Amino acid sequence: MIKLKMETEKPRYCIAKDNGIYIVKHIVRGKKGIRALVDIKYPSKRSVIVVDEHPCPLAAKFLDSGCIILSAKVFEKKVVWDILCGKDAFLKLMDEINDDKSYRIIEKKNFLKKDDVEYNITYSEYVTLKKALDMGFFECPKKITLEELAKELGVSKSTLSNCIRRGLKKVLMQYFDMVD
């Protein structure tokens, strides 16, 4: 995985129209545009708005290349994007913005290197979390109980519970380090 910090010019159609600090999160593709949650901070107040079907070709370009937009911070004349992508998505994005001078990479780093032991889930944790997810353990209501999943995996309930908690802790630590 590659974590990018990119800077673009602030487009004229940007939702940020005044001098508040705009932090855009949870940016996803909608049917006709971009959906996001926007945290706006003013000197005397704070506001959170939901943007639905906003026509942002910058965000669309990142998402269409297969990248995940972690956040976008909107300044007076620029937008700074925090992006996470795999190698293929990164290469596709670079092909698309190849000679466009309005995109500038501020920082590029490999994320989750093998020596980043704190975050690496074990093979056992990976298999357990994947199986739990695939079998509906995290659904509401659950499609499979802890006891049924333990039987499916051939382990005790307590072993399974500990494995799930350890694995989820690592996954959540990764996630919150990415978005902070």
pLDDT at 73: 92
- Span 127-165, pLDDT tens digits: 899 899 889 999 999 999 999 999 999 999 999 999 999
13 pLDDT higher than 90: no
Q: What is the pTM of this model?
A: 0.61
pLDDT at 3: 85
- Span 84-137, pLDDT tens digits: 888 888 889 998 888 788 889 998 887 655 445 455 777 788 889 989 988 999
- Span 66-99, pLDDT tens digits: 888 989 999 888 999 999 888 888 889 998 888 7
Q: pLDDT tier at 179 (50, 70, 90 boundaries)? A: low
- Span 26-35, pLDDT tens digits: 888 888 888 8
pLDDT at 118: 52
Angstrom distance (rounded) from CA 41 to CA 36: 16
Q: pLDDT tier at 58 (50, 70, 90 boundaries)? A: confident
177 pLDDT higher than 80: no
